Structure 1
Amino acid sequence: MRGALASLPLLLAVLAERPTAGVPVALGAMLAGINDRPGSRRAAVTRLGVPALAGSAGLLLGTMIAAAAGGGRSLVVLPLVFGVLGLVAGAFSSTGPVASSCGTQVLVAAVIGAGMPLPEPGPARALLFLAGAGWLLLLRLVLPSPGRPGNGPYRLDGEREAVAAVYESVSRLLRATGGPRALDSRAALSAALDQAQDALAGPRLRSRSGSAAERRLHALYAAAFPLVEAATALAWAGVPLPARLVAGPRRLADAVRTGGSCGPLPAPARTDAGLRALDDALLRAAAVFDRPERSSQGTAKGRPEGSAPKRAWSAAGREYGLRVAVCCATSTVVAQWLHHEHWYWLPATTVFLVKPDLGPLVSRVLCRAVGTVAGAAVFGLSALLLSGVLSGPYPLVGAVALCGALLPVATRHFAVQTAVVTVLVLSLVLLGGEPPAAWGRVVESLLACGTVLLAGHLPLPGRRGHTVRAALDTAVGAAHRYLGHVLDAPEDHAGRGALRRDAYRSLAAARTAIDLTAAELPPVARHSAGSDGVAGAVERLIDTTTACAVHLGHRADRLPSAHAERLAVHLSELDQAWTGPRREMSAL
């Protein structure tokens, strides 16, 4: 629904007989729609708004570059400028998801601003682009979520579901304890915590009436930390648990979704440190859930802030930035040399394809090619069938609205997203007064696929594998900090919780980087050799540290010899696993 309503400014521009003014608006809404994901509304402000500002600046910069280059045509100036811009934006993109969206939008918008012939001046284009993205963001904030559960304020639906997912994941981990799926369930719990942390960390869009509900959600999220710790320690012990213990966290999850009371919770037998910790955590959580909403107090001091921000000009940032620069400069040279009317499509497409967070390179290139051909075929066939029935700009506006409605679903698969975006872009091209170009879109996309595939495996100066190495460095450091804090200050529960989240989140990021690199072609995949063993050693160390933390938190004496021996074994394993692959990756 949001995607379809996002085309309303474009319709108004067409009704005002200014369709070209609606093109930047639709572009801003389209790129914001690509960034839109399920989750909290407050997180959407940053996830959609900041990249929109970057895209608006890029569109203005592109028009200025075109004016300086003389009509947007140059075999020297444009490739050089876009190469430098790609280097900076690519390095910045490596620092996080929002930064990645910012880098993509500023590059794409700059290329479009330099190549797309629109009568509106640069500042007007930038404001219209920002208005389109702002309109979609406004819809994201004010429209209720479909099928929303519970009775709380709908603007907190995303946060409430994210917190409920944490309790649901605790229940699944307790059920899997002692079985073959325990590790997978523990990883799913870590992912649920990451999502809840992100959902509650956005701008504080609270009103007078909603502040109590917001504080309560923070309190419910904080109440899950002891449960998470106890469940992780029990999973580490590997002893199957009674089925009735699963019901407690599940009832808490239902209470978060409905806003009601959790009711009586089944208590475990307090026979060891893990079960005592689980019982205490359930009792504390029940007290928080039964507390009146107006008196619920958030525990911000116990909420982890996540990993330290990455530096843009790190080794991984330079590696990615250099690859983006090569792709942008090369594709611009090819596009300028071909003198194609829609030359800007080629560098704009390479920017999307070179993003490393869209999956393995070969996979996304194939998906792009298939999606473009399918989208161009659908657009051409639709235009042929409707040519004798409908005419004018309104069928194109309808196509944009339909694509906007499909975009949230299409983002689940890159090929489908490409097909939808292709139809949308071809519609905007016609609304902008340019000639039909379905076949040209296919040719430009295939050239971009070849450019990115070549640049992605080109041996550039310096070493490769910086992304995996940097992610493993971060994970190993976080695991050591967590262990040191547990041994030195076991009574500091808030600090321990923050370091535990940092350790597990860093481990998840490292595994993502490893899996992505390992799925590439051999010239790239070989740089991740041995890294999976390092991640496994880090995981075992963190899990054992959590079990030690639970033991120290419920007994005044020191660690038992079995725990201390396991820690020593895992530390030795990690040292051996990390030394060899690190030396090999550094030599490549």
Structure 2
Amino acid sequence: MSTEQIPSGPGRSRPLAPPAWLLQGLRPTSAPVPWAAAARAGIALAAPLAVGFALDEPEYGALVSMGALSGVIGDTADAYRMRILNIAVPQLFGAVGVALGTLVYGHGWPAVAVLTLVALVSGMISSIGTVASVSGLLLLLNAVVGAGLAMPRPWWTAPLLLTAGGLFVLALTLLGWPLRGRQPERAAVADTYRALAGLLEAAGRGSAYEERRRDVTTSLNHAYDLVLGRRARVHGRSPALVRMLAQLNVVVPLVEAAPAVHQRGRPLPPQLPAVVRDLGDAVEQGRTVAPVLDLPEPEGPAERALDAALRHAVAIVHLAEPDPYNVDDRLGRPAALRVRARRAVRDVMLSGASWRYGLRLALCIGLAQSLVSLVEVERSYWVALTVTFVLKPDFGSVFSRAVLRALGTAGGLVIAAAVLAEVPRGWWDVPAMVALGALIPVFSAKGYAFQTAAITPVILLLSDQLNHQGFDLVLPRLLDSLLGCAVTLVAGYLLWPESWHTRVGDRLAAAVDDAARYLERAFGPVPPGEDALRAARQDRLQARRRIYRELSGVRTEFQRALTEPPPTGERAAAWWPLVVAVERIVDATTAARVRVNHGAAAPDQAEVAAMAARLRRLAQDVRRHRTPQEITLPPPAAPPRTSVLHPLHNELLAARAITTPNHPTP
């Protein structure tokens, strides 16, 4: 009998089982094997080692491989231009970090002060964005390594070798650019069409629709990020980018029509999703010959909306040269890099969250370095390294990461012990490094604990080239990791009130407020005139994209909070049904707007105002209460059944059933 089937009661003991948050972290994510990344990582880590042995300078080869390791970890982007930023920019910060660490090596308390200051800067700049986060991580990591390991002299040797390793990874990454220059962006747009086809197949079929809608939101966000990010760096108009942006823009009306057709409660004819899937193939293959469409005759407003959007998409996707002056960016074209840099610096300096994280990281690093300065700890730099890896706010829960880090390190040490015990030092390390390096991208896709288990033996094998301790490295590394996790749990988690009082309720309340604004924009009065009508439509499109992006962020925040131990995880789980209800409210708003666009009667402004006020009241109650069961909402006034807002009214009733005890779900 499974544990789920065993009843609990006075006469029966409950089975012992790991907590749910730990099981969730240890459950491997289903992801395809990144064969190209695995081959690239194996070559990038092993080749410098082989060159070092050939030149009789294994220490130099190990340092280049360490730089390559940071490049392998940071190579997470899809587009080639973003990969240049993701790999090259952090290498510059890493070179500064190792130079600072080398200059204070062996200086005791001055080293503690310098590393604490570097941790403050690293933590603050990590909140800017992805590239800044990796840069801040590498700045601190290399500073810790430089302050804890004896580096070759003069002082600029280690920064030069580490940077060479990162640039070697970049060179290997860019080998495919001439052949696949625009492939990542084109593939992202094509995947958006395929995700949309899956959504249309699930429309009217029940719970599968919700998951497919989230897939479309994620895919659409990713595609816009890639295409608009590349467009921001291209001077003038690129025909290829204009075409991809036009192909991406025509997805939006199809996505808007999906909630409306889902509300019909019956599946779509199979040829409609098939046409959308064929559009994805046409985008990826660059086809310009449009097929002859044989679509069923639309019946109601929802079907007419989907039919019109699909025919328009077929026409635009197969255009060889779309009108470059009739392609808007939906979310607005990104500002210039100089402007965004100024905004980022201003936001970091004025952000309370940025200062809090910087101070938290500085406190933990300062305590770790002080502890190993007062207590004899062999190869003490590993303690601060563990603190740095665990205390990354954009990587997930600090508590669960500390536990998973300890478990992953233990698993990695088992692999490292076998390699250090059985593989003779020298040329045999090269094929071992090929195999171990290839595991890093494969295991990184499975989860944090698996990534830690893959990185640990690589670092130990490279460290062995510098200090020649062999198997004796294994036990000290485990003790150092456990000590670093303990410092992080106490100084980086338990001492900070925000760790125990989750802010997911505030984030959810902000999303409910945004849903109210989206409802008002969707059905607000429009001044007369063609230009005003076009501006209102553009405003609604941007509002819809922003609210769905915000809901995607809310879902991510809640999923992160669910991995926290009680009481944070329990509170997040209590609010989770309301997260789903808000997503359905936004879907119902979109569906109502689509029906109005294609023939249905517009709702009365009093109905719109009443429902928007209802949502704002819900947002206020979410901010004030700790659990949804503490909220008591009066029943909303029902609009006429013929109103396009009647499905939205039902979703509001469902939200009330979640928050108000003993109220039936419609």
* TM-score class, shorter: 0.7 to 0.9
- 1:288 equivalent among 302, 307, 316: 316
- 2:603 equivalent among 542, 560, 582: 560
Counterpart in 1 of 2:380?
Answer: 343
Matched, 1:581 2:622: yes
Amino acid at match of 2:402: V
- 2:480 equivalent among 427, 431, 444: 444
Worse overlay, 465-474 or 81-90: 465-474
Counterpart in 2 of 1:177?
Answer: 203
Counterpart in 1 of 2:529?
Answer: none
Q: 1:426: how far off?
A: 1.0
Counterpart in 1 of 2:589?
Answer: 545
> Do 2:256 and 2:590's aligned partners in 1 also have CA atoms closer than 8 Å?
yes
> Do 1:56 and 1:127's aligned partners in 2 also have CA atoms closer than 8 Å?
yes
Counterpart in 2 of 1:234?
Answer: 261
Counterpart in 2 of 1:353?
Answer: 390
Amino acid at match of 2:94: G
Matched, 1:31 2:51: no
Name structure 2 gaps, 5 residues minimum: 1-38, 527-532, 628-666
* Deviation readout 1:386-434 (Å, 9 max, x if unpaired): 33xxx42x23333333322221111022222212211111111122245
Counterpart in 1 of 2:28?
Answer: none
> Do 1:45 and 1:202's aligned partners in 2 also have CA atoms closer than 8 Å?
no
Distance, in Å, in 2 between the alignment partners of 1:235 and 1:321 is 46
Counterpart in 2 of 1:156?
Answer: 182
- Compared CA separation, residues 95 and 544, structure 1 to 2 (3 A): farther
Counterpart in 2 of 1:459?
Answer: 495
- 1:521 equivalent among 552, 565, 569: 565
Counterpart in 1 of 2:165?
Answer: 132
- 1:106 equivalent among 117, 139, 152: 139
Distance, in Å, in 1 between the alignment partners of 2:317 and 2:400 is 46
Matched, 1:431 2:457: no
Q: 1:284: how far off?
A: 1.7
> Do 1:316 and 1:470's aligned partners in 2 also have CA atoms closer than 8 Å?
no
Query: What is the SS of the residue equivalent to 2:494?
Result: coil
Counterpart in 2 of 1:414?
Answer: 448
Distance, in Å, in 1 between the alignment partners of 2:331 and 2:140 is 35
Q: 1:346: how far off?
A: 0.6
Q: State the TM-score, normalizing by the size of structure 1.
A: 0.85
* Deviation readout 1:266-297 (Å, 9 max, x if unpaired): 43533333222222221221112222259778
Counterpart in 2 of 1:17?
Answer: 56
List aligned pairs for 1:56-75, cutoff 5 A: 56-66=95-105, 71-74=106-109
Query: What is the SS of the residue equivalent to 2:297?
Result: coil
Q: 1:517: how far off?
A: 1.5
Counterpart in 2 of 1:254?
Answer: 281
Matched, 1:201 2:228: yes
Counterpart in 2 of 1:501?
Answer: 545
Q: 1:353: how far off?
A: 1.0
- Compared CA separation, residues 478 and 140, structure 1 to 2 (3 A): farther
Worse overlay, 508-517 or 239-248: 239-248
* Deviation readout 1:175-198 (Å, 9 max, x if unpaired): 111222222211111011111122
Amino acid at match of 1:574: L
> Do 1:93 and 1:102's aligned partners in 2 also have CA atoms closer than 8 Å?
yes
Matched, 1:279 2:333: no
Identity across matched positions, percent: 33
Worse overlay, 20-29 or 567-576: 567-576
Q: 1:212: how far off?
A: 4.0
Counterpart in 2 of 1:94?
Answer: 127
Q: 1:469: how far off?
A: 5.6
> Do 2:229 and 2:334's aligned partners in 1 also have CA atoms closer than 8 Å?
no
User: Which entry has the higher C-alpha Rg, 1 or 2?
Assistant: 2
> Do 2:515 and 2:615's aligned partners in 1 also have CA atoms closer than 8 Å?
no
Distance, in Å, in 2 between the alignment partners of 1:364 and 1:582 is 28
Q: 1:369: how far off?
A: 2.0
Query: What is the SS of the residue equivalent to 1:269?
Result: coil
Q: 1:484: how far off?
A: 4.2
Query: What is the SS of the residue equivalent to 1:39?
Result: coil
Counterpart in 2 of 1:142?
Answer: 175
> Do 1:86 and 1:328's aligned partners in 2 also have CA atoms closer than 8 Å?
yes
Name structure 1 gaps, 5 residues minimum: 145-151
Q: 1:98: how far off?
A: 3.0
Counterpart in 1 of 2:214?
Answer: 187
Amino acid at match of 1:197: Y
Counterpart in 2 of 1:314?
Answer: 351
Q: 1:546: how far off?
A: 1.9
Distance, in Å, in 2 between the alignment partners of 1:49 and 1:482 is 40
Amino acid at match of 2:553: A
Counterpart in 2 of 1:50?
Answer: 89
Q: 1:327: how far off?
A: 2.2
Query: What is the SS of the residue equivalent to 2:329?
Result: helix
> Do 1:316 and 1:467's aligned partners in 2 also have CA atoms closer than 8 Å?
no
**Matched pairs, number:** 565
- Compared CA separation, residues 276 and 89, structure 1 to 2 (3 A): same
* Deviation readout 1:177-231 (Å, 9 max, x if unpaired): 12222222111110111111222233469999x9544433222212212211222
- Compared CA separation, residues 251 and 174, structure 1 to 2 (3 A): same
Amino acid at match of 2:63: P
Query: What is the SS of the residue equivalent to 1:376?
Result: helix
Distance, in Å, in 1 between the alignment partners of 2:603 and 2:264 is 14
- Compared CA separation, residues 63 and 212, structure 1 to 2 (3 A): same
Q: 1:467: how far off?
A: 5.3
> Do 2:330 and 2:542's aligned partners in 1 also have CA atoms closer than 8 Å?
yes
List aligned pairs for 1:325-344, cutoff 5 A: 325-344=362-381
Counterpart in 1 of 2:400?
Answer: 363
Query: What is the SS of the residue equivalent to 1:302?
Result: coil
* Deviation readout 1:59-102 (Å, 9 max, x if unpaired): 22322343xxxx1423xx44444334333422332343333322
* Deviation readout 1:232-277 (Å, 9 max, x if unpaired): 3333555532232211211111212222245234435333332222
Q: 1:535: how far off?
A: 3.2
Distance, in Å, in 1 between the alignment partners of 2:133 and 2:73 is 13
List aligned pairs for 1:377-396, cutoff 5 A: 377-387=414-424, 391-392=425-426, 394-396=427-429
Distance, in Å, in 2 between the alignment partners of 1:156 and 1:127 is 32
List aligned pairs for 1:113-124, cutoff 5 A: 113-124=146-157
Distance, in Å, in 1 between the alignment partners of 2:267 and 2:66 is 54
- Compared CA separation, residues 408 and 226, structure 1 to 2 (3 A): same
Amino acid at match of 1:167: Y
Matched, 1:486 2:486: no
Distance, in Å, in 1 between the alignment partners of 2:228 and 2:81 is 8
| Pairwise CA RMSD | 3.4
- Compared CA separation, residues 78 and 470, structure 1 to 2 (3 A): farther
> Do 1:177 and 1:241's aligned partners in 2 also have CA atoms closer than 8 Å?
yes
Query: What is the SS of the residue equivalent to 1:242?
Result: coil
> Do 2:282 and 2:318's aligned partners in 1 also have CA atoms closer than 8 Å?
no
Counterpart in 1 of 2:23?
Answer: none
